[in-house]
Amino acid sequence: MLLVKIGFVDKNKEKFYITTPLYYVNDVPHIGSAYTTIACDCIARYKRLRGFDVCFLTGTDEHGQKIFKSAKAQNKSPQEHCDFITGEFQKLWKLLNIEYDKFSRTTSTKHTHLVQEFFKRVYDNGDIYEGEYTGLYCEACEDFKSEKELLEGNLCPVHKQRAQDYEEKNYFFALSKYQDKLIQFLSSTPDFIQPEFRKNEVMGWIKEGLKDFPISRRSVSWGIPIPNHSGQTIYVWFDALLGYISGLIDDSNEPTIAEGIKSYWPASIHVIGKDILRFHAVYWPCMLMSASLPLPKKVFGHGFLTKDGEKMGKTTGNVIDPYELINTYSTDAIRFFFMREITFGKDGDYTKENFLNRVNSDLANNLGNLLNRTLNLVNKNFNGEINGDPSKDLLQLKSKFDSTINLYSKHMDNLEIKEALDSLWQLIDSTNKAFNDIAPWKLLKSGDIETTKCCLYETLIILRNISILTYPFIPETSVKIYKQLGYDKLDKYSEWERLGFNSLGKNIKVTVGSPVFPRLENKT
């Protein structure tokens, strides 16, 4: 079987624009937002390695009644509150080693300009009209609810709080007009909604009939004013989604839609939690159609996290505090656990036991020990330097190695993050097994230097590739491994080109440092 490595791409041609949701700043960041952002960062790092011209955007959604109330409760102005919480998000992303390119804030001046321009576009297209809304509204969701969607006593199924009667003279967006167009779009773009099983949910909503919805508020002061109409602000979702475009504009440039869409728009993928699927898979494409703007290529709705099998909630105290996890363990351990343990797209559970087991067995034992044993042998017996011939294939892992790289890339391109890591760890397991079977320490004793060298050389080749392939997930550890293997710098934009079962290069001298991933202890 001939395998051709999935290759490096030409960054002049291939752009990749990925977004997290713009996180709502009513409260400090929680583990759910961290999970989404880590996943996006891993995908973005993988694409950069592959050579894509990547833009990774995250940010904050800062308008609406809930934020106004949160600010008031703390005796802050809404803007002070937004600045503070946004700062908390940025701090956490730094601690989690998130390498975003753009941070979009919906209270920025450029965003306000852009939203108002967008409103005018849609208005001029005849899709905004004045009307009167009577119905139910969940303030926590910032969303309108039909009685059918609510639980007994009009409780919101997500927030378990009562949806309020809502009656206002508003501007409406003519969503219903786009029903057929949206169905057409979804059937001609079958992978727009991912994972596949979320599509049925969306098709269900559409079949029930899309209803026009109010996009202005009389009662909400903390929002973007409707152009030329005093006293009303724009509905938070009709505002926030535009942050994916406004966030692309450099502050020195004209804050116009044309400027926003000229470099990276349309998004290659919006990664979101499943709870905001309707806004991204129904409202957003219709809004863009109305404004004659290109639609994003993909919306990926991931699942929710639970702790010890239970839903997390502030009131029950059953939460995972991301800061506590980072302080107790390490950033790479956290990044690794959530990506390795949970099928991306499905719900996933965190228990401390699983966390420690997973991280210790995969990182400290399987990868860490293989690395340490190899480096020690090379260092002690060959003064850190070793030559060899990769074509010998003593370990008989070359074909497994080639198929792993292909499988890994295929999975990453399909956003099957866990499966990509599975394939990588199968290679690590096989390498450990082959290494143990050949037992170079025994060969040394028996004086078979050539076979020993060959075994160590091939193991170093595999480790070198593994350090590159783990870079998107555990960047700090990966770079440490790369250095211990004798290379000065892992080039995060082009290292993919050097993947392969090939020579280690000239004058490469390994160094034995401290273990790159010490075993984690159970701390409480």
Q: Which residues bind Zn ion (CB under 5 A)?
A: 138, 140-141, 156, 158-159
Closest approach of Zn ion to the CB of residue 138, in Å: 3
Is the CB of 220 or the CB of 481 nearer to Zn ion? 220
Cα separation, 212 vs 249, in Å, equals: 30
Nearer to Zn ion, 24 or 264 (CB): 24
Q: Which residues contact 481 (CB under 8 A, 6 or more apart)?
A: 371, 463, 466, 467, 470, 516
Least distance from Zn ion to the Cβ atom of residue 370, Å: 49
Give me the least distance between CB of 90 and Zn ion, in Å please.
27
Characterize the bridge pairing of strands 128-138 and 164-173.
antiparallel
Cα–Cα distance for residue pair 212/125, rounded to 1 Å: 15
Dist CA 81 CA 70 (whole Å): 8
CB of 151 to Zn ion, least distance (A): 11
Nearer to Zn ion, 152 or 488 (CB): 152
Residue number, 141 or 481, with CB nearest to Zn ion: 141
- State the Cα–Cα distance between residues 419 and 412, nearest whole angstrom: 8
Q: Please give the structure tokens belonging to residue 364.
A: 């400290």
Q: CA 158 to CA 175: how far, in whole Å?
A: 24
Complex with Zn ion: residue 154 or 432, whichever CB lies closer: 154
Closest contact distance (angstroms) between CB of 139 and Zn ion is: 8
140 versus 512: smaller Cβ distance to Zn ion: 140
Q: How far is CA 257 from CA 55, 245, 384, 478, in A?
A: 18, 7, 57, 40
In the 8-state DSSP scheme, what is residue 303?
-
304 φ/ψ sector (left φ>0, alpha ψ -120 to 50, else beta): beta
- Whole-angstrom distance, CA of residue 99 vs CA of residue 122: 34
The nearest distance, CB 238 to Zn ion, in angstroms, is: 18
Distance of closest approach, residue 8 Cβ to Zn ion, in angstroms: 45
Distance (Å, rounded) from C-alpha 473 to C-alpha 40?
A: 10
Nearer to Zn ion, 276 or 420 (CB): 276
* Rounded Cα–Cα distance for residues 260 and 249 (Å): 5
Q: At 166, which helix (H) or strand (E)? A: strand 164-173
With contact defined as beta carbons under 8 Å apart, do 413 and 50 qualify? no
Give the residue with the Cβ less far from Zn ion, 140 or 508.
Answer: 140
Give the shortest CB-275-to-Zn ion separation in angstroms.
9
